[in-house]
Amino acid sequence: DEAGDEVLVPALTFVASATAIVYINAVPVFVDVDAETYNISPAAMEKAITKRTRAVVLVHNGGYPANMDRIRALAKKHQLKIIEDSAHAHGSSWKGVKVGALGDLGTFSFQMGKTLASGEGGIILTNNSDLAEKAFSMHHNGRQAGRPFYEFHRIGSNLRMTEWQGAILNAQFKRFGKQIRHREKNATYLAQGLREIKGLRPIKRDPRVTSWGFYYWNFHYIPEDFEGVSRDRFLEAAQAEGLPVGVGAHGAPIYNNPVFQNMKSIAGRRVDYSRTHCAQAERLFAREAVCISHTAFLGPRADMDKLLAGFRKIRRHAAALKK
- Please report, for the chain, how many H helices and E strands are present, in that order: 10, 15
Q: How far apart are the first and last CA of the chain?
A: 57
DSSP assignment of 154-177 equals S---B-PPPHHHHHHHHHHHHHHH
pLDDT of res. 136:
95
Each residue's pLDDT tens digit, 187-244: 999 999 999 999 999 999 999 999 999 999 999 999 999 999 999 999 999 999 999 9
**3-class secondary-structure state, position 281:** helix
Question: What type of residue sits at position 95?
Answer: K
Question: What type of residue sits at position 241?
Answer: E
The fold of 176-249+283-321 is Aspartate Aminotransferase, domain 1 (3.90.1150)
Q: Is 168 exposed, middle or buried (0-12, 13-18, 19+ CB in 10 A)?
A: middle
pLDDT of res. 1:
74
Residue 15 has what DSSP assignment? T
Residue 287 has what DSSP assignment? I
DSSP assignment of 197-227 equals STTEEE----TTEEE---SEEEEEE-GGGTT
Q: Which CATH architecture has domain 6-166?
A: 3-Layer(aba) Sandwich (3.40)
Question: What type of residue sits at position 83?
Answer: I
Q: Is 144 exposed, middle or buried (0-12, 13-18, 19+ CB in 10 A)?
A: middle
CA 233 – CA 245 distance, rounded (Å): 12
pLDDT of 323 over the 90 cut: no
Domain with CATH 3.40.640.10 in the chain: 6-166
Place 305 in a pLDDT band, splitting at 50, 70 and 90: very high
Q: By the 8 A CB rule, do 1 and 54 touch?
A: yes
Spatial CB neighbours of 233, under 8 Å, sequence gap ≥ 6: 321, 322
Domain with CATH 3.90.1150.10 in the chain: 176-249+283-321
pLDDT of res. 190:
98
Strand partners, 270: 265
**Which has the closest alpha carbon to 65: 195, 212, 165, 164?**
212
Chain-centroid distance of CA 256 in Å reads: 17
- Give the residue-averaged pLDDT of 55-80: 98
pLDDT of res. 287:
97
Percent of the chain at pLDDT exceeding 70: 100
pLDDT of 97 over the 80 cut: yes
The average confidence (pLDDT) of the chain is: 97
- Give the residue-averaged pLDDT of 22-37: 97
Place 176 in a pLDDT band, splitting at 50, 70 and 90: very high
